[in-house]
Structures are given as C-alpha cells and as structure tokens.
Structure 1
Amino acid sequence: MDTDVTQSPSHLVKGKSRKAKMDCVPIRGHSYVYWFRKKLEETLEFLVYFQKQDIVEDTAMFKQRFSAECRQNSPCSLEINSTEAADSALYFCASSQSTVLRVSSS
C-alpha cells in the first residue's frame, strides 16, 4: 500500500529563462493534489490545487508563470514556464489538506 506522496526530481537546478518541471504522485486513493513553495525565511506560499484532473483554486502568480496538470493514472506535474532567480525555493506537493495544515503550522 502506498503511504507517501512521491516527488521527483529530488532537486532541480536550472538557468535563467528555462523551463523547470516537477512531478508528484499522490497517495493512492487521494483525489486532491496541492502545490506549494517555501522560499528561505518566508512563509509557505500556495500555488494551486486539484481535485482529480481539475484545478479547483490557483493564484494570480501561478497563472502568470506556472502551469500544472493532473492526468488520470499519471503523475501530477508543476512547471515553471520561464525560470527567474526568485524561483529558488523548496517546492512540494501534498495529497490531503491535513498534511498541508501540519506542514504550514511547523
């Protein structure tokens, strides 16, 4: 039984104005995927969340610079369309709101 969310790659380095793509395999049976980023010494920043293959909520910043998809039987992906120095951050996904609330309060 799958008990963890799996993200890949574990780290990613890209030059300026490049595409950067990250994948997320949610916990089996979970129908939500949340993407966040955490910059050094800043608060957790919400980007987008899906229910199954549909975007439920996103941000203006996400719409300007990112794209994402969750296709059935495939990993969910988050892509930065054109990287900037300000994109340096920890990006992570979660597949339940309880996980998100635990991470954001720590």
Structure 2
Amino acid sequence: MKNLKCDFKNCGFNYTLSLISGKYKMNILYCLYKEEIIRYNKLHKILSPISFKTLTNTLKELETDKLILRKEYSQIPPKVEYSLSPRGKTLIPILNALCHWGEENKL
C-alpha cells in the first residue's frame, strides 16, 4: 500500500473542491453542459427552489473562477446568457464520472 501524504491545503483535490463545492455549483455546471447556452430565468426554473440571490452569487463565483462565461446583450429588456468556458468544459468528464458512479451505486 502506498504511503500517500497530501497537504490538503495545497493539493489539487482541495483546490478542485473549492471550485465546485457548494449546493448548486455542480448542478449549474452540468446544466450548462447539457443546455450549452442558457438564460438566467431558464436556469432559475431548472434549479428551483434556488433563490434569485443564491443563483446570482453562485454564477458570479463560477465566472470569477473562469468556469463559466457570461454574455450580456445591450438591449431592452436586458438579455444575459451563460455557457461553460473552455476551463469549465474540462470538468465535464469528472461530473460525468460522478453521475455514472451515482447511477451504479444507488441504494
């Protein structure tokens, strides 16, 4: 058996969890993967009962972490679309693996 030592503060596992942990982050990322481009209100409906404030804050965090892209159109009424960034797309195999594991291990 390998003697694994991981400084959890600085290891890749902890960093990845810091990006995707939270009640809705993985749901948002997976939804963007399935929908490709989605508007705010549709995302809110899909993730109901998420509050508008929680959705807004979570989207801002994901955008700050460069996992999603936000495209704003200057029109009235305002139109904003969200999609996965190239960096966010690299998480999809991990999310697919989690999905597969869940399907295989449901109790």
Work out whether the TM-score is over 0.5.
no
Higher relative contact order (CA 8 A, sep 6+): 1
* Structure with greater helix percent: 2
TM-score, structure 2 as length reference: 0.29
TM-score, structure 1 as length reference: 0.29
* Structure with greater strand percent: 1
